[in-house]
Amino acid sequence: MPRSPNTPATKAASVTLATVARRAGVSPQTVSNALNSPELLRPETLDRVLRTIDELGYRPHRAAQTLRTRSSKLIGYGIRPTAPGTSAPVMDRFLHALSQTADEAGYRVLLFAAPPGSAGLDGYEELLDLHSVDGFVLSGTDRGDQRQAWLEKRGVPFVGFGRMWSGR
């Protein structure tokens, strides 16, 4: 069903940083400071800007933030297929806990298809080349897994769930 122009999501999407600045009677830089460096503002100015943000339902533009900060706030997780007829309740609980913890830290988890076995670094490389993720969570490692050394060599942050064969 198409959204009406007055739905909250549409309304929030149309509110810009400049709109907030005009309504709060401050400059766009002051609004940016309220979001990114609140310690730079006087308490009464910060309060006025934050109230205006709440009233208007403003949400920062993710792509603009990524360009400015060079951080996507995304964590990559390569999903590997399970054998047919096999359930993976531990992975289900793990992915839920990972997503919840990432949310609480201001991140999201980006799932992508990863081939089985230790080969197949293409998906990882593509996400890094496109600046799509800030790091990775690895699972399902085996003795021949090249991902750990490959990511470490490139200085890419990663953590592992399960056994990390390299000892790192």
**Residue range 105-134, pLDDT digits in tens:** 889 999 998 876 555 788 898 888 887 899
Element (H, E) at 9: helix 8-14
Please give the Cα distance from 133 to 70 (Å, whole number).
Answer: 10
What lies within 8 Å, CB to CB, of 10 at 6+ separation is 3, 4
Pair 79, 48 in one domain: no
Which residues constitute the domain of residue 146? 69-161
CA dist 111 and 137 (Å) reads: 10
CB-based burial label for 10 (10 Å; 0-12, 13-18, 19+) = exposed
56 and 79 in a single domain? The answer is no
Final residue of a domain: which of 60, 82, 98?
A: 60
Asked which of 41, 60, 79 is the last residue of a domain, the reply is 60
pLDDT of 2 reads 44
Percent of the chain clearing pLDDT 70 (strictly above)? 80
Give 18-33 pLDDT, tens digit per residue: 999 999 999 999 998 8
pLDDT value at position 136? Answer: 94
Residues 74 and 147 in one domain: yes
- Tally the domains of the chain: 2
pLDDT at 77 over 70: yes
